[in-house]
């Protein structure tokens, strides 16, 4: 399920449609997002929306994946800021993700299940989150592998799977401040990843 057209912030037609859908979802709720309203917001015909996006389910997936790109951007920055320190990169990445989640309006709309957001969007983050998890794990694996941790490939895969799932759990249901949670999860990640 790749996001066509790049990041939400890009000026492609697809990106503009996804950005408009995100804005509508946070303002009036997913249940009130229609292809007609989206077409009006972007200034195109409804048929153009269907041709570019497809179904409303495909629009939901595109929104979630575009948000994932945004989250992976903060992970990339964190790793870039710690090129020789895997522990620092991990804790920084976890903190950046948790802080980004704290301010993410779409995530809040989905998690709080307000305005009918739970009908299609919440499962994409929970029970049907396999594509989301696989993309996140692949991105983190690529970054962690550059540090050459002392783990066999299967161990590394399992460790990263565990870290990504725990961080996602805290994104969905925070149990403390981002800084305190990042410190705890950073400790855990350092132990697991060596």
pLDDT score recorded for residue 3: 37
Confidence of residue 49 (pLDDT cuts 50, 70, 90): very high
Which of 151, 174, 158 shows the shortest CA–CA distance to 94?
Answer: 174
Looking at the predicted structure, is the pLDDT value of residue 124 above 70?
Answer: no
Which of 73, 53, 76 shows the shortest CA–CA distance to 63?
Answer: 53
CA 108 to chain CA centroid, Å, is 13
Task: For residue range 12-25, list pLDDT tens digits in order.
Answer: 999 999 999 999 98
Mean pLDDT score, 114-126? 56
User: Cα–Cα distance between 153 and 144 in angstroms, integer?
Assistant: 12
User: Cα–Cα distance between 47 and 39 in angstroms, integer?
Assistant: 8
What residue segments make up the domains of the chain, in order of their start? 64-193
Percent of the chain with pLDDT strictly greater than 90: 55
Looking at the predicted structure, is the pLDDT value of residue 180 above 70?
Answer: yes
């Amino acid at each position: 399920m790749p996001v066509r057209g790049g990041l939400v912030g890009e000026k492609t037609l697809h990106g503009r449609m996804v950005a408009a859908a995100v804005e509508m979802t946070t303002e009036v709720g997913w249940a009130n997002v229609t292809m007609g309203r989206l077409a009006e917001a972007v200034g195109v015909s409804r048929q153009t929306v269907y041709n570019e996006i497809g179904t409303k389910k495909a629009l939901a997936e595109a929104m979630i994946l575009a948000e994932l790109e945004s989250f992976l951007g903060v992970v990339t920055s964190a790793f870039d800021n710690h090129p020789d320190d895997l522990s620092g990169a991990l804790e920084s990445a976890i903190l950046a993700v948790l802080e980004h989640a704290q301010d993410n309006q779409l995530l809040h709309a989905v998690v709080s299940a307000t305005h009918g957001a739970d009908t299609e969007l919440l499962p994409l983050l929970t029970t049907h989150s396999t594509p989301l998890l696989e993309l996140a794990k692949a991105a983190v694996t690529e970054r962690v592998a550059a540090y050459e941790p002392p783990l066999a490939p299967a161990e590394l895969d399992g460790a990263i799977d565990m870290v990504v799932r725990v961080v996602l759990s805290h994104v969905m249901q925070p149990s403390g401040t981002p800084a305190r949670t990042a410190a705890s999860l950073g400790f855990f990640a350092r132990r697991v990843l060596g």
